[in-house]
Amino acid sequence: MRIEAVELVRLQLPFVSPFRTSFGVQTGRDVVLVRVVGDGVEGWGENVAGEEPLYSAEFVEASVLALRHHLVPRLLAAGDITPFDVARVLAPVRGWEMAKAAVEAAVLDAELQRQQVSLAQWLGGTQRRIPVGVSVGLHDHIDQTVTAVNRYLEQGYVRIKLKIEPGCDVDLVRAVRRAIGPDVMLQVDANAAYTLADARHLARLDEFDLLLIEQPLAEHDLRQHAQLARMLRTPVCLDESITSVQVAADALALGACSVINIKPGRVGGLLEARRIHDLCQANGVPVWCGGMLETGVGRAANLALASLPGFTLPPDLSASSRYFAHDITRPFELVDGCLEVPTGHGVGAVPDPQMLRDLDATVERLRI
Ligand code: OSB
Ligand code: MG
């Protein structure tokens, strides 16, 4: 298809409650949506960069500059393209995986509207309803986390992920495990807050029968993760470290992890995300779909990805109400602990124009 214009749509969306991780507190999202228009269709993609460069180097303000000055101009100059061309067209620009992923998702959404096929079907998805987990932020007191966990279990979530950090780990996990019993799937996410010197301490988590520990060490510490993995019974899962299928292959070859969290935004797009899925499936490595506190636009795309057969562990894809009082798309709702994979053409969720107006979304139109 030929892209005639691209819009950068930006809006603020508050969370129902603050979300604290080892790297900081977020009280809402500064959302940048990419809207592509061409051949009589439109497509939407979500940029998942955070407001500050704390999870990774990308952040919202900078990604707008990358999109406006470097990525969108290349897309507009590329002429007739398919979704497979987007990554190649944007590849000369180094980095900016989240911004690139938003562009690719928007082009995919538009192209699949034209082809009248859903993203899940086009990607090769095999699951229609996905049992989902919830990522629980840090609180000031252990009791507050236990209360939050109990509430999510009542709502039907099938797996709990606890954020941890030095000083808030073993006792927290012990209290939650005691509260929920031995049968509920439980995992932890450190967001790179530890060093290899903490290995003996982290081994104390082994007794709680965790599904995995996510990203205990820094993004570039692949070799240290391999050393740590040999010292823990809890499987090591990587998030921040896995920025491409090449890095995923290196991490597996090194023994740095035995599980991978796949996020399209972190790896530059849905197609690279699928390549990581394929690599892991071929090697018998379980994967699951992570989240970046997406609006319905990003959530719909993640659900399509998570419907691929190798996604065998519950994703961080929760109901819209876990994040927002009002999502910008139709809300995603939990039914028997599951979210439904969208079946509409393309990504299968579009922003509600009235919501965008109510939120005073700004629109910047770019064209050749
Ligand atoms: O590390 O998985 C993470 C949110 C923002 C940035 C990083 C992470 C997260 C989450 C939330 O854990 C997952 C979600 O529910 O979207
Ligand atoms: Mg993580």
Q: In the prediction, which pLDDT does 368 show? A: 84
**Would residue 263 show up in a list of annotated catalytic residues for this protein?**
yes
Probe ligand 1: pick from 98, 135, 158, max atoms within 8 Å of CB? Answer: 135
For the CA of 26, the nearest atom of ligand 1 = 5
Probe ligand 1: pick from 295, 302, 316, 320, max atoms within 8 Å of CB? Answer: 316
Q: Are the CB atoms for 317 and 306 separated by under 8 Å?
A: yes
CATH of 121-340, one of 1.10.3720.10, 3.20.20.120, 3.50.50.60, 3.40.50.2300: 3.20.20.120
* 36-68 pLDDT, tens digit each: 999 999 999 999 999 999 999 999 999 999 999
Q: In the prediction, which pLDDT does 93 show? A: 98
- As a whole-number percent, the residues of the chain with pLDDT over 90 amount to 100
Residues of each domain in the chain carrying CATH 3.30.390.10: 5-115+351-367
* 85-111 pLDDT, tens digit each: 999 999 999 999 999 999 999 999 999
CA 132 – ligand 1 centroid, Å: 14
| Residue of 163, 225, 277, 299 marked active site | 163
Q: Which CATH superfamily is domain 5-115+351-367 in?
A: Enolase-like, N-terminal domain (3.30.390.10)
For the CA of 290, the nearest atom of ligand 1 = 2
Q: Which of 134, 127, 112 is nearest to 350 (CA)?
A: 112
- As a whole-number percent, the residues of the chain with pLDDT over 70 amount to 100
Give, in order, the Cα–Cα distances in Å from 38 to each of 4, 6, 153, 271: 5, 9, 44, 21
Residues of each domain in the chain carrying CATH 3.20.20.120: 121-340
Q: In the prediction, which pLDDT does 186 show? A: 98
Question: Buried (b) or exposed (e) across 55-84, using 16+ Cβ within 10 A?
Answer: bbebbbeebbebbeeebbbebbeeeebebe
Place of tokens 């690599």: 279
CA 359 – ligand 1 centroid, Å: 23
| Residue of 139, 263, 277, 345 marked active site | 263
Low-confidence ranges of the chain (pLDDT < 50): none
For the CA of 294, the nearest atom of ligand 1 = 16
Could you give the CA distance from residue 264 to residue 271 in angstroms, rounded to a whole number? 8
